[in-house]
Amino acid sequence: MRRLYSALFALSALLLVFACQPTQEGSVNWRLEPERGALTPSEWTSIPAFIVDYTAQDGTPLKAWVWKGWLPASPTLLYLHGPRGHLGYSAQYLRYIIEQGFPVIIPEYRGFGPNEGEASLDAMVDDALGAFDMAQRQAALPSQIIVMSHSVGSLPASEIAKTYPNVYGLVPIAAMPETSVQQVQQSDPLLEALRKMQQNGNAGSTKTTVVNTSFTDVKVPKIFVHGRLDNVMDYASAHLLYESSPGPSAFITLDDVGHRPSEFAIANLYPLILQAFATRNMSLLKPLESSGTIHVEVKY
C-alpha cells in the first residue's frame, strides 16, 4: 500500500493540472431535488458492491452501497452527496477511488433513490447520523472513517463530527456557508404534473431556509476543498468556515473549478488526503501548489 501511495503522491500534482477544470455552473439558489427509483450498483460502477440496509436515527429504514475494497488496511470513505440526484451519481463520481481498491460507503437519504419518505434538510442530518453508525459496523477499521461531503452534504457531515468525535477526518467539498440563508426550491410532484399539463415551466415552490453549517466545535482534522469559481456555495463564505474551525485543518483552493471538481481531481487528491490524516501533517498537501492552479493553506 505504501508503494501505491508513493506513486500516486508523485503523480498527483501533475495530474491535477489537467484534472481541475470547470465541470458545473450553478445559480445562487440550490434545489432540493431528489431522484427516485430502484437502483443497483452494477448500473453505475464495474466494481461489485453490497447493498446494505440501515436505519436513520429515528428508525427510518434506508439503504446504502458498500465496497469493501482490496486495501483493508486503508480508512473507509463515507460519502454524503448533496441535494440532487441519488447515490448512483455519487458512485459514478467516486469510481476512480473505488477502482483503486479503497473501501467506500455511500449511504442514501430518505426520499432519494430506492428509499421511501420525504426528503428534507433535517432528514438528511438524521439519515447521515444513522449512516455513520452503520459505517462503523461495516468498516474493517471502525476507528478510521473519513467523511467526505459535497455541497449541502457538509451540513450532515458537520453534525456527524459533532456527535462522533472519533471521526478520522472530514473532507467538505464546496461546503455550505455557515448560518446562511438559502432560497431553496423544493421539488413538488403536483406542480411538476401541472407544469407538464400546462407547459408553463413554473415548477416547484420557493422558500427561505436558514441552515447552520458550523465547524467551530469540530476538532477532528478537516480538509476543505473549494473551487474559486463556485457560484452555488460562495467561496469566501466557505473560507470563513475554515478560518473559524480549529486545527489541524487545510483549505485547498482549485482556481479554475466551479461547484463540482472533476472525479479525476478528487481521486488524485484522495491518497494525499489519506496521508495528511494518517500523520496529522497537513503540510503533505503543499506539493499540490506546484501545479500553479492549486493553493493550500494549513493550520494546526
Domain contains 11: yes
Domain contains 195: no
Rounded to whole angstroms, how far apart are CA atoms 63 and 169? 23
Q: How many CA atoms lie within 13 A of 185 on its CB side?
A: 12
Phi, psi of 11 (to 5 degrees): -85, -20
Q: Are 226 and 154 in contact (CB under 8 A)?
A: no
Q: How many distinct structural domains can be found in the chain?
A: 1
Residue 18's pLDDT is what? 33
Full pLDDT tens readout for the chain, 300 residues: 544 444 444 444 433 433 333 333 333 356 788 999 999 999 999 999 999 999 999 999 999 999 999 997 899 999 999 999 999 999 999 999 999 999 999 999 999 999 999 999 899 999 999 999 999 999 999 999 999 999 999 999 999 999 998 999 999 999 988 755 555 555 555 545 555 555 544 445 555 555 678 888 899 999 999 999 998 899 998 999 999 999 899 999 999 999 999 999 999 999 999 999 999 999 999 999 998 999 999 999
Domain contains 207: no
Read off the DSSP letter of residue 177. Answer: P
3-state class (DSSP) for residue 209? strand
Q: Which three cell numbers stand for residue 133?
A: 453508525
Domain contains 130: yes
The angle that helices 154-163 and 121-138 make with each other, rounded to 10 degrees, is 60
Residue 7's pLDDT is what? 46
Neighbours of 99 (CB within 10 A): 14
Structural domain span for residue 253: 2-25+35-177+213-299
Q: Are 213 and 154 in contact (CB under 8 A)?
A: yes
Length of the chain: 300
Residue 80's pLDDT is what? 98
Domain contains 45: yes
Rounded to whole angstroms, how far apart are CA atoms 61 and 285? 39
Query: How are beta strands 61-67 and 104-107 bridged, if at all?
Result: antiparallel
What's the alpha-carbon Rg for the chain, to the nearest Å? Answer: 18
Q: Which residue has the cell 441535494?
A: 83
Domain contains 116: yes
The angle that helices 263-279 and 2-19 make with each other, rounded to 10 degrees, is 140
Domain contains 138: yes
Whole-model pTM: value is 0.84
Which CATH number belongs to the domain containing residue 78 in this structure?
3.40.50.1820
Read off the DSSP letter of residue 245. Answer: S
